[in-house]
Structure 1
């Protein structure tokens, strides 16, 4: 059975393997033992904390194949970004240069450094090993976060964002960063990506251009990748767009990948999921639901056929599924069709 649960200290080796697999551009999982262990410890504290409003909590989940005991994927949620370290983006804007006397009117796109998403919740760190990219596991891994947010809404902000990986080549080189490197920095993209991942962000404020950048002054290669996603990120973007996420003109300051946003209460999985009371019995159905319990530290989620009795607000689960979810008959679960 495939389950999703909070990460724990014993998952370090698996998380390190995933960090290596994820490659360049996956800033939130640097290949660094100290930082990965801190990330796990912070998640454990967050899951075990009593929370009434979003703060510095970071929730990291893993997908486990219980038949083998192997962790095959991970995903995360940051409760509120930018509260301790500045959270930077570029915002795409326009400047008009015109002269009525000369009959000239030019519109120029600009990139302006900003901290507009400070305090927003961020879904992040989504990665699934290639061996398990089947049976809707990727979709499940992404959407389970919204079930958790729906059940524990007090822990998250009303605005939810996701930074999508921008364009880079197999060596980790970003055309957008190349222009910044040539003009403002002396660090290559993999190095900058790594420094950001381990929390060393002071160089951003020190070296990043403070004034709006005219897009038409960038190299043609840099201009072409602004607001574009990496080929491997397209499926993740499509999933989020189906949930109601949209671009609002914000892009990453390193690779110019788009940041998408939605109002938490309007995310499809959040507003369409329902709570039902558990009955345990035989289920003969080929439908497929995502089901999670209502716990925090002992959160569990699975994909499974169920027998839904909507008028009675009840759901029939097989005993093995109830055991995996750590629920008994009479307990409540949250679910949505997958």
Structure 2
């Protein structure tokens, strides 16, 4: 059974393996022992912290095979971005050049650097190891974050964003960054990417152009990738679009990948999640579910557990779930305890 739970110190080696496998462009998991250790420690502190409103908490989860103990993937939520270190984006807008005298009217795309998402919650760090990408695990990893946020809404902002990985080649080179590098920087994209992952963003304010950039002055290759996602990121983007996330013109400073957003209460999983008492039954006592798969979780914080299975049924009349004993054990719950669930 695959179980999502908060990360702990014992998961360091697995998290480092995931960081290595994730490759270039996955800035939230750089291959750095000290940083990975600090991410785990920060997550543990965030789960234990008493919170009245979202601040600088970061919640990091791992997906574990409960039979083997192997870590299959990870995902995370940042409670409020940009509160300690500025979060920069480019916003893609338009400007008009018009001359009535010359009968000229030109609309031009411009990129303006901004901090508009300061204070928003961010879903991030979703990575499922390649050997486990079949089936529903990826969808479960993505949507379970929204279930957790709905259960603990006071810990998160009403605006939720996701920064999608932009286009880069196998060596980690971004067409968009190559243009910036040529005109404003003298470092390669992987190095800049690594610095951001380490939290060292001072060079952005020091070297980034201070004024809006006319998009038509960029190279053709750079223009072509603005707002586009990496090939491996397309499934994740499709999942978020189904949840109601939209791209509103904000892109990453380095690879021009899109940032998508939604209001927390408008997210499909949040709207469809049900809460009710769990009744532990034998498999034969389950109501007919026609092969439906449910994601179910307990309603706890530091001891949060979630899994997905077909051996779950929901009774609208009694607002309750029927689950089997092994699912209850995976969730660490007892009969009659409140749980949360949604159709996967």
Query: How far apart, CA to CA, are the structure 2 residues paired with 1:334 and 1:237?
Result: 25
TM-fit CA distance, 1:307: 2.1
* Structure 1 partner of 2:317: 311
Moved more, 254-263 or 62-71: 62-71
* Structure 1 partner of 2:190: 190
Kindly indicate whether residue 301 of structure 2 is the aligned counterpart of residue 296 of structure 1: yes
Query: How far apart, CA to CA, are the structure 1 residues paired with 2:15 and 2:94?
Result: 42
Structure 1: unaligned runs, 5 residues or longer: none
CA distances 1:108-144 after superposition (whole Å, capped 9, x unpaired): 1000000000000000000000111112100000110
Give the alignment's TM-score, normalised by structure 1.
Answer: 0.99
Query: How far apart, CA to CA, are the structure 1 residues paired with 2:16 and 2:97?
Result: 51
* Structure 2 partner of 1:203: 203
- What pairs up with 1:195-274 in 2 under 5 angstroms? 195-274=195-274
* Structure 1 partner of 2:292: 287
* Structure 1 partner of 2:151: 151
* Structure 1 partner of 2:332: 326
* Structure 1 partner of 2:119: 119
Runs of 4+ displaced beyond 3 Å? none
TM-fit CA distance, 1:271: 1.2
Structure 2: unaligned runs, 5 residues or longer: none
CA distances 1:69-102 after superposition (whole Å, capped 9, x unpaired): 1001000000000000000000001111110010
**SS where residue 311 of structure 1 aligns?**
coil
**SS where residue 312 of structure 1 aligns?**
coil
Moved more, 48-57 or 247-256: 48-57
* Structure 2 partner of 1:335: 341
Query: How far apart, CA to CA, are the structure 2 residues paired with 1:321 and 1:81?
Result: 35
* Structure 1 partner of 2:81: 81
TM-fit CA distance, 1:315: 0.7
- What pairs up with 1:92-131 in 2 under 5 angstroms? 92-131=92-131
**SS where residue 329 of structure 2 aligns?**
helix
Query: How far apart, CA to CA, are the structure 1 residues paired with 2:108 and 2:343?
Result: 45
Query: How far apart, CA to CA, are the structure 1 residues paired with 2:300 and 2:331?
Result: 10
**SS where residue 317 of structure 2 aligns?**
helix
TM-fit CA distance, 1:224: 0.4
Query: How far apart, CA to CA, are the structure 1 residues paired with 2:113 and 2:223?
Result: 17
Give the alignment's TM-score, normalised by structure 2.
Answer: 0.97
TM-fit CA distance, 1:51: 1.2
Query: How far apart, CA to CA, are the structure 2 residues paired with 1:86 and 1:14?
Result: 29
CA distances 1:21-58 after superposition (whole Å, capped 9, x unpaired): 00000000000000000000000000111112101000
